[in-house]
Amino acid sequence: MNKRYGNKNIRKIENDYVRTADRQMEKLTKRKIGLRRRLTTFFIIASVVIVSLISTLYNQNQRLSEKEAEKEKMLAELQEMKEEQERLKLQIKKLEDDEYIAKLARKEYFLSDDGEIIFTIPKDERDKDKDKEEDHNDE
């Protein structure tokens, strides 16, 4: 008990008031220790929760950006499919025309009507490119 005063030559007064004051000091010290433990525990738990929330937020942002990139890719693919569908619809309309079918059969398969003779004339490169463009435009 003399440690409280730091000097062994000083003696502590022994009475009810001092004992009550010592008990109150001990209670206050225990309270402070308990408060520190509770606050430390609270901050550790709060830190774990905050770190897990930040991690979840980061992962969700990553997933969102991946899904947005996938969405853009799918929209581009959808646009390509719509263009292909329009081209095929136009091709179907053309194939319903007998004249177009006859022209296509003559050109691709060298078919002819009775009494018709088909001649193929060699073309230079510029004419071939021009014919390819016309074929593409016909479709």
User: How would residue 2 be classed by pLDDT, with cut points 50, 70 and 90?
Assistant: very low
Q: How far apart are CA 119 and CA 112, in angstroms?
A: 11
Can you list the alpha helix ranges (DSSP code H) found in 15-113? 16-95, 98-109
* 125 lies in some domain: no
How confident is the model over 26-66, as pLDDT tens digits? Answer: 999 999 999 999 999 999 999 999 999 999 999 999 999 99
* 53 lies in some domain: yes
Q: How far apart are CA 120 and CA 55, in angstroms?
A: 71
Cα-Cα-Cα-Cα torsion 122, 124, 128, 131, nearest 10 degrees, comes to -80
* 2 lies in some domain: yes
Q: Into how many domains does the chain fold? A: 1
* 129 lies in some domain: no
How confident is the model over 62-116, as pLDDT tens digits? Answer: 999 999 999 999 999 999 999 999 999 999 999 898 888 888 888 887 777 777 7
* 99 lies in some domain: no
Q: How far apart are CA 7 and CA 53, in angstroms?
A: 54
Q: Which residue has the higher pLDDT, 49 or 7?
A: 49
* 22 lies in some domain: yes
* 37 lies in some domain: yes
* 36 lies in some domain: yes
**Token couple for 76:** 């581009």
Residue 10 lies in domain: 1-77
